[in-house]
Amino acid sequence: MHIGFIGLGIMGKPMAKNLVKAGHTLVVSGHNATAAAELAELGAAIADTPREIAAGTDLVMTMLPNSPQVIEVALGEGGLLEGAHPGLVYVDMSSIAPRVSQQVAQRLAERDVVMLDAPVSGGEPRAVDGTLSIMVGGDRATFDGVRDVLAAMGASVVHVGDVGAGNTAKLANQVVVAVNIAAVSEALVLAQKAGVSPEAVFDAIRGGLAGSAVLEAKTSMMLDHSFTPGFRIDLHIKDLVNALETSHGVGAPLPLTAAVLEMFTALKAAGLEREDHSGLVQHYELLAGTRIGRR
């Protein structure tokens, strides 16, 4: 398939590379010149504007930081809307507010463009190896038509409802991940203060009900204080802000989410916003006056 891809950041670049590896013809945005050059070495073409990309492709995919960037790329000057043609499919894989997905989809529908919102979970490692979890909202027939394309980037591709449902599912995912990271941090700091090896506690509980993907992926980073980002604190703050905004709109209180957001915000105030979200353990270490480590 002839695909346009916009947003070659920490997640988007490996996702785009997996599309090329799967045999798709790619046109990428030249906004990130270094990343675009890497894709060009794999055979991708480079375009200057989203309008140009939309005009020359059957499917456009975006992986952008937040709602304002999606609005700009899709609807702004030189954006997708200006290059839209009947039959064009737009799949936004950014993690944004569900209401924004719905608003953008409505505008694009006026030009006979069908939009899916398809945010992902798994961080950079899974983006690289093509095993992301992808949650998709939008027209089911359109989803069926691009499912194989999405499968080149993800091990799990699930249709969850109408446009906006994908991002609602992603917000739910981010709530679970954030609260889980906080719980792991609390548990490891508790062990340290009680004089028990946090690493030994991890080994003891990982096979029981407390076991989780977060426990497995983040404990070693916490024990080593190695917070090179797979998913940055500032991005998780963005997602939790969107989750709370959405929750307020539908009347679903999220008290635990709000508490973790404040912890992440404290770390941002300390200049740690570009660290991995597993760095949340540092907030607990500060509160307890300790530092966890291996045996």
Let me know whether 150 and 63 are in one domain.
Answer: yes
Let me know whether 173 and 87 are in one domain.
Answer: no
Question: Which residues of the chain, if any, have pLDDT below 50?
Answer: none
Q: Which of 163, 178, 209 is the last residue of a domain?
A: 163
Question: DSSP strand E in the chain: where?
Answer: 2-6, 25-29, 45-47, 59-62, 89-92, 114-117, 120-121, 132-137, 154-161
**Which residue in the list 13, 17, 170, 218 is annotated as catalytic?**
170
Cβ-Cβ contacts under 8 Å for 87 (sequence gap 6 or more):
58, 112
Please count the CA atoms within 13 angstroms of the CA of 85 that sit on its side-chain side: 12
**295, 197 contact by CB (below 8 A):** yes
| pLDDT for position 155 | 97
| pLDDT for position 104 | 98
Let me know whether 200 and 90 are in one domain.
Answer: no
Let me know whether 155 and 189 are in one domain.
Answer: no
Task: State the DSSP H helix or E strand holding residue 263, giving kind and residue range, or none if neither.
Answer: helix 255-269
Q: Measured between alpha carbons, how far is 92 from 133 in angstroms, rounded to an integer?
A: 14
* 127 within some domain: yes
Q: What does pTM read for this prediction?
A: 0.92
Let me know whether 144 and 242 are in one domain.
Answer: no
Over residues 109-167, the pLDDT tens digits come to 999 999 999 999 988 889 999 999 999 999 999 999 999 999 999 999 999 999 999 99
* 72 within some domain: yes
Q: Measured between alpha carbons, how far is 14 from 215 in angstroms, rounded to an integer?
A: 25
Structural domain total, the chain: 2
* 294 within some domain: no
| pLDDT for position 182 | 98
What is the extent of the structural domain holding 172?
A: 168-288
Q: Which of 163, 178, 207 is the last residue of a domain?
A: 163
Let me know whether 186 and 235 are in one domain.
Answer: yes
* 256 within some domain: yes
Q: Measured between alpha carbons, how far is 226 from 223 in angstroms, rounded to an integer?
A: 8
Taking alpha carbons only, the member of 45, 36, 46, 106 closest to residue 71 is 106
| pLDDT for position 140 | 98
Identity of residue 146: V
Q: What is the CATH number of the domain that holds 42?
A: 3.40.50.720
Write the DSSP string, 79-99: SHHHH--TT-EEEE-S---HH
Q: Which of 110, 139, 163 is the last residue of a domain?
A: 163
* 293 within some domain: no
Taking alpha carbons only, the member of 90, 81, 128, 101 closest to residue 4 is 90
| pLDDT for position 295 | 81
Let me know whether 226 and 270 are in one domain.
Answer: yes
Please count the CA atoms within 13 angstroms of the CA of 139 that sit on its side-chain side: 13
Clarify whether 13 is annotated catalytic.
no
Let me know whether 148 and 205 are in one domain.
Answer: no
